[in-house]
C-alpha cells in the first residue's frame, strides 16, 4: 500500500489492551487511568480478521502492543491465531517483560518471532520509581527467558528521560547500553514524547519518529484504525468495516504528525 506521500505502508501495530500492570510516569496516570469498557475491546476473532484484511492489502509486519499485551487474557491464543494468517511475514511484540519469564516459550511456540522490551534503567530503585512499583528482576528474568525461547533479536526500548527532578538520563541510558552490550541485546533510545503537545523525535537505533520514513498504521484496542500516532484521526473498524477503515486511514495519513489530544500512550500503544 502506498499513501498519498508515496510512503510504503506495510506495518500494523495493534494495541491488544489498554490495561497495564505498571504505571510508568510518562505513559500512564497513577490512579484511575480512564480505561475502556471490556465490551468495547476487540475480540480475538476481530483482531484476527483485521490482520487477514491488512495482509490482503499489503501489510506484512504486525506488532502487538498495549497497554501491556501480556496482561490480556489468553494472549498466547491470540498470537497463534494471528500467526496462522497466511502471508504475514513478521510477528512481534512490545512488552514491559515483567510477565515474560513464563510466557516467552509459549509465545515463541505460538508463532511470535521477535520481541521488544522496555527498559529505561538497570538500577532497581530507579526502575521502581519510573514504573511506580515494578520489579526489575522480573524484567531480567523475562529477557533471559526470551533469549532461551529464541525470540531473536531481543531489542530493548529505552525512553530517554530528562527534566528537573527526573532520573539521571545520561547515566541511565549508558547503563542500559552497557547491559545490552553484555547480554547481546539491541538497544534503541526513544526520546520521551508528549502526544498532547506534539513533542516527538527520532528513535535512535530504530525507525520511529521520522515522518518521511513512516510505514505504519495503528489499531487501538477498541477498534479505531489510526493513520498516525500524533493525530486525532481515527476510523472505526466496527462501524465502517475493516477494509474501508483501513483504506480511509491510509488515504488520511498525514505527511507529518501534529498532536493527538484523544489518546494517551497506554491506549494507543507507543
Ligand atoms: N507495555 C509495553 C511496554 O512498555 O513495552 C507496551 C506498550 S508501551 C505504551 C510501548 C512503548 O511506548 C514502550 O517502549 C514505552 O517505553 C513507550 N512509551 C510510552 N510512553 C512514552 C512516551 N511518553 N514517550 C516515548 N515513548 C513512550
Ligand atoms: Fe505500562 Fe508500557 Fe505504559 Fe509502562 S510504558 S505504563 S509498561 S504500557
Write out pLDDT tens, residues 28-44. Answer: 988 867 889 999 999 99
- The bound ligand whose nearest atom lies closest to the alpha carbon of 155 is 1
Q: How many of the other CB atoms lie within 10 Å of CB of 52? A: 18
Pairing of strands 114-118, 90-95: parallel
Matching residue, cell 500492570: 21
User: Is residue 2 domain-resident?
Assistant: no
Which stretches in the chain have pLDDT values below 70? Answer: 32, 161-169
Spatial CB neighbours of 264, under 8 Å, sequence gap ≥ 6: 27, 28, 33, 195
User: Is residue 17 domain-resident?
Assistant: yes
pLDDT value of position 166: 54
Here the CATH number for the domain that contains residue 35 is: 3.20.20.70
User: Is residue 3 domain-resident?
Assistant: no
Read off the pTM: 0.95
- The bound ligand whose nearest atom lies closest to the alpha carbon of 132 is 2
pLDDT value of position 32: 67
Task: Out of 18, 22, 133, give the residue to mutate to test ligand 2, the one with the largest number of ligand atoms within 8 Å of its CB.
Answer: 22
User: Is residue 255 domain-resident?
Assistant: yes
Q: Which structural domain, as residue segments, surrounds residue 41? A: 11-267
Interval 228-243: pLDDT, tens = 999 999 999 999 999 9
Task: Out of 129, 266, 269, give the residue to mutate to test ligand 2, the one with the largest number of ligand atoms within 8 Å of its CB.
Answer: 266
CA of 21 to the centre of ligand 1 (A): 13
Amino acid at each position: 500500500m502506498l499513501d498519498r506521500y508515496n510512503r510504503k505502508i506495510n506495518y500494523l501495530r495493534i494495541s491488544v489492551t489498554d490495561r497495564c500492570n505498571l504505571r510508568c510516569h510518562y505513559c500512564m496516570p497513577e490512579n484511575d487511568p480512564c480505561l475502556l469498557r471490556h465490551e468495547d475491546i476487540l475480540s480475538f476473532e476481530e483482531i484476527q480478521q483485521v490482520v487477514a484484511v491488512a495482509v490482503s492489502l499489503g501489510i506484512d509486519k504486525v506488532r502487538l502492543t498495549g497497554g501491556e499485551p501480556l496482561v490480556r487474557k489468553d494472549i498466547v491464543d491470540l498470537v497463534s491465531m494471528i500467526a496462522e494468517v497466511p502471508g504475514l511475514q513478521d510477528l512481534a511484540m512490545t512488552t514491559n517483560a515483567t510477565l515474560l519469564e513464563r510466557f516467552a516459550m509459549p509465545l515463541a511456540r505460538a508463532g511470535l518471532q521477535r520481541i521488544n522490551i522496555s527498559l529505561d534503567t538497570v538500577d532497581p530503585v530507579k526502575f521502581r520509581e519510573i514504573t511506580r512499583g515494578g520489579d526489575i528482576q522480573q524484567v531480567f528474568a523475562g529477557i533471559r527467558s526470551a533469549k532461551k525461547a529464541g525470540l531473536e533479536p531481543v531489542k530493548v526500548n529505552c525512553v530517554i528521560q530528562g527534566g528537573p527532578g527526573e532520573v539521571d538520563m545520561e547515566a541511565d541510558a549508558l547503563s542500559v547500553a552497557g547491559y545490552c552490550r553484555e547480554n547481546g541485546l539491541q538497544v534503541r533510545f526513544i526520546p520521551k514524547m508528549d502526544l498532547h503537545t506534539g513533542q516527538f523525535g527520532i528513535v535512535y537505533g530504530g525507525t520511529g519518529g521520522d515522518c518521511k520514513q513512516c510505514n505504519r498504521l495503528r489499531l487501538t484496542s477498541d477498534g479505531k484504525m489510526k493513520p498516525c500516532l500524533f493525530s486525532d484521526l481515527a476510523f472505526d473498524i466496527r462501524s465502517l468495516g475493516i477494509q474501508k477503515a483501513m483504506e480511509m486511514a491510509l488515504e488520511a495519513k498525514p505527511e507529518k504528525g501534529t498532536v493527538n489530544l484523544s489518546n494517551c500512550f497506554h491506549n494507543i500503544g507507543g
